[in-house]
Amino acid sequence: MADVTFTVDGKKLTAPAGTLLIDACRTAGIEIPAFCYYPGLSLQAACRMCVVRIEKMPKLQTACTTPVAEGMVVQTETEEVKQSRKAVLELLLGNHPLDCPVCDAGGECELQDMTFKYGAGESKYIETKQHREEQKWSPVVYFDRPRCILCYRCVRVCGEGMDVWALGVQNRGVTSVIAPNGGDHLGCEECGMCIDICPVGALTSDTYRYKTRPWEMNHVGTVCTHCGDGCKTTLGVKRSNDGMEIVRGDNRDKSGINNDFLCIKGRYAFDFANRTDRLTTPLVRQADGKLAPVSWEEALTFAANKLNEVRSNRGGNAIGVIGSNRTTNEENYLLQKFARGVLGTNNIDHHRTADYAAFAAALKGKANREASLRDFISAPAMLLLGNDPTEQHPALAWQIRSNVRQNRARLYVANHREIKLRRQAKAAVELPQDGYASFISYLAGNDGAFTGNDANDFREALRKEESLVIAFGSEFRGRDIQALVEFGLSMPNVKFACLGDYSNSRGAADMGLLPDLLPGYVPVASEHKFAEETGIEWPKQPGLDLVQMLDAAGSGEIGALYVVGANPVARYGVDPSALKNTFLVVQDMFLTETAVLADVVFPAANAYEKAGTITNTYGDLQLVKKAADKAGVRSDFELIVRLADKMGADPKKLVPFGKGVRADFGQSRGAQSGEADRHAVWLSANHLEPKLSPFDPFAIFDEIQRLVPSYNVPRLNLLAGNDEHVKSELVQIDTTGSRRDLVLPANDGLYTSGTLGRYSDKLAEVLASKTTEIAETAAD
């Protein structure tokens, strides 16, 4: 729209016609107070805080509903305006319990802030206040009605934003009250958006309420460790008996790719960190067959000696390495470097939840074809093939809904299930479970490939799109991905997203946790730069994949397995007896089904307790920062270095610290103020330079950026806490031939998150409540 010029508080401003005055002012740095206005949600004009004086208008006007117009003259802070706002506050406070000293929101409450600014210090009434008892609406949501100012943000974010519609308004007039549409309970997706968006302390969460005061926490911006969407989150952490405890997660500053969205997992499922059964000392299996706590020295020496023994007696190929979907890129890179360079084997793999290698091959050499999660907020059209984002990629589902609602974007859904996002779809086609490949063939013009209701209209409409992002689930693998990308490229302006399941599944593949591919999808057999740069010998023969390794362990071909942050025994249903002759080293937070079989278990830190980078499934690279801490645990990075060191490898070769490192993730210094710098202590004891630590992942990030061209993205933005998209066109994969299909979708829903999720008590509680809810509905 054309720009218009108008005047606010004497300043000439310009904005596109139709812009709301409140937005135009905010863009120009003029703050207009607002309770009910919330960008992206429908307008309410209910709180009357945003009133301003506009020339030629008889009454004060609400800036949240007034579009700017040519020549408009506005005053935002006249005495009249200030008085009007003050009067609103006085009215609100009249019925408010004024329990700020114990309220969760105290110190970060919009009502407090406004009162501070406009003043409403005098009590004008002596009558009793409206009071209602606090209510618990779900395992996570509590409602304290007297604090509610009826801004309707919660109602809208639940309905418009989440498409859940669990909240409504009951009664009228002064007895109006926010209430669940389901009577006494929400029966919702438990995302906690309502709590987060509440400007006051009326909605509170079970995990955070009455736990702390906001100013007693440290706030650390990092990334959620659950699904593949990689939501940015700010963790509020507080000192505990044995470290720093996470007490809440939100993205209130709306930084990052998810705006203010977090699902239940990002918002509440950090409680695994504080479980009492968390491992905090190394364990070694004793002569009596039982695992017992031992010193770090003993455990490391024992593991190192055993691994050395297998390597020297039977060769590196008698050792297998299984990596993780949640460890950082630096850890993954280091792990494969350790496997290849120290253990001398390409037997390395991870639980693959999507065929990223096939995707990389399909996009090789094609610049700007991979969609960021950001693209789904703005794309004019979206095609969703397979997957159920509401369950598996909640942030993606949020972006898609927002895009449809706010920009009237068109969504096309083809799925074998009746997924919830069909409600937002302009067109939808139901496919047979194995019908995806033929449907793509049909879309590409092969009429005979697919018959089904609506398919023709779907294709006609889709073909008219001039700019499209395509997201596809793990229903697509290998050649099907190739065919899909080929079809897609026949349309103008297409981008693709391959949907995999965990926070760093993509990074695991990108960083070469694969038996045939090095970081950046460089074939192990090819001539590559890794050898010359690292001074390490890299084996050329492709190794065993994960399933082969497990089989080989069972048959005795593999003598030792090193498992980092993974639970293959549960995931692949391994018979425990099959591993009884394998020397098993496991790094984990808990005695998982795999760890319990191990000979050595190292207590590992989780993603919230370390620094590094991770890559979400869309290729958005982000910084992970150390927020929490737990006495006794070590990051996987540190554990790998220590193990290599004990095995006699040169840590300087493994981690090129001191070599052109330009910055530091903050890990080696202890992220929390006052925390003992135990890395530095260790370094001094080993006569190493304390400032350049072999445990500093930035040294490896440096190496990654040198050797993996797709990851050579501008660093400053990343360090500032923003996302950078990897350059997927620069991968060096061999695009001929096909690989064995090893994709095993995690099939997680909103309330599960693989093995890690099972250690979240909150998720377990919610999951149990959902099961009863379903049972009750069925009984109705």
Query: Would you tell me which residues interact with ligand SF4 (CB under 6 A)?
Result: 148-154, 178, 197-200, 202-203, 224, 226-227, 229-231, 258, 262-263, 265-266, 394-395
Is 92 a binding residue for another protein by CB under 8 A? The answer is yes
Nearer to ligand FES, 47 or 611 (CB): 47
Q: Which does 265 bind (CB under 5 to 8 A by kind): ligand FES, another protein, ligand SF4, none?
A: ligand SF4
Taking CA 396 as the corner, what is the angle to CA 393 and CA 399, rounded to the nearest 5 degrees? 155
Running DSSP on this structure, what letter comes out for residue 246? E
Is 145 a binding residue for another protein by CB under 8 A? The answer is no
Q: Which does 489 bind (CB under 5 to 8 A by kind): another protein, ligand SF4, ligand FES, none?
A: none
Nearer to ligand SF4, 191 or 427 (CB): 191
Distance CA 629, CA 246 (A): 9
Nearer to ligand SF4, 265 or 306 (CB): 265
Nearer to ligand SF4, 322 or 499 (CB): 499
- The pair phi, psi for residue 651, each rounded to 5°, is -60, -30
Q: Encoding tokens for residue 491? A: 């349309």
> Are the beta carbons of 578 and 550 closer than 8 angstroms?
yes
Q: Which does 262 bind (CB under 5 to 8 A by kind): another protein, ligand FES, ligand SF4, none?
A: ligand SF4
> Are the beta carbons of 353 and 500 closer than 8 angstroms?
yes
Q: Encoding tokens for residue 462? A: 């889709």
- Tell me how far, at minimum, the Cβ of 174 lies from another protein, in Å: 4
Nearer to ligand FES, 31 or 575 (CB): 31
> Are the beta carbons of 646 and 304 closer than 8 angstroms?
yes
Amino acid at 636: D
Running DSSP on this structure, what letter comes out for residue 634? B
Is 183 a binding residue for another protein by CB under 8 A? The answer is no
For residue 22, the tally of other CB atoms under 10 A from its CB is 25
Is 468 a binding residue for ligand FES by CB under 6 A? The answer is no
Size of the site for another protein (CB under 8 A): 32
- Tell me how far, at minimum, the Cβ of 38 lies from another protein, in Å: 15
Q: Which does 394 bind (CB under 5 to 8 A by kind): ligand FES, ligand SF4, another protein, none?
A: ligand SF4
Closest residue by Cα to residue 400 from 425, 417, 419 = 425
- Tell me how far, at minimum, the Cβ of 485 lies from ligand FES, in Å: 46
> Are the beta carbons of 291 and 468 closer than 8 angstroms?
no
Pairing of strands 51-54, 73-75: antiparallel
Distance CA 684, CA 95 (A): 61
Size of the site for ligand FES (CB under 6 A): 12
Q: In the set 28, 45, 531, 764, which binds another protein (CB under 8 A)?
A: 45
- Tell me how far, at minimum, the Cβ of 130 lies from another protein, in Å: 8
SS3 427: strand
- Tell me how far, at minimum, the Cβ of 99 lies from ligand SF4, in Å: 14
Nearer to another protein, 91 or 449 (CB): 91
Question: Which residues, 527 to 546, sit near ligand FES by CB under 6 A?
Answer: none
> Are the beta carbons of 95 and 130 closer than 8 angstroms?
yes
Pairing of strands 410-415, 381-385: parallel
- Tell me how far, at minimum, the Cβ of 93 lies from ligand SF4, in Å: 14
Nearer to ligand FES, 62 or 234 (CB): 62
Task: Give the position of tokens 């996009």.
Answer: 363
Calculate the alpha carbon distances from 123 to 16, 91, 94, 98, 126 in Å: 43, 10, 7, 12, 8
Q: Encoding tokens for residue 652? A: 């300087």
Question: Which residues, 20 to 59, sit near ligand FES by CB under 6 A?
Answer: 34-37, 45-50
Question: Which residues, 59 to 88, sit near another protein by CB under 8 A?
Answer: 59-60, 65, 83-84, 87-88
Is 94 a binding residue for another protein by CB under 8 A? The answer is yes
Running DSSP on this structure, what letter comes out for residue 128? P
* Ramachandran bin of 499, using left for φ above 0, alpha for ψ from -120 to 50, beta for the remaining angles: beta
> Are the beta carbons of 769 and 206 closer than 8 angstroms?
no
Nearer to another protein, 127 or 434 (CB): 127
Closest residue by Cα to residue 763 from 40, 139, 327, 291 = 139
Amino acid at 190: E
Nearer to ligand FES, 49 or 440 (CB): 49
Question: Which residues, 156 to 175, sit near another protein by CB under 8 A?
Answer: 169, 171-175
Binding region for another protein (CB under 8 A): 43-48, 51, 58-60, 65, 83-84, 87-88, 91-92, 94-95, 124-127, 149-150, 169, 171-176
Sites of contact with ligand FES (CB under 6 A):
34-37, 45-50, 62, 64
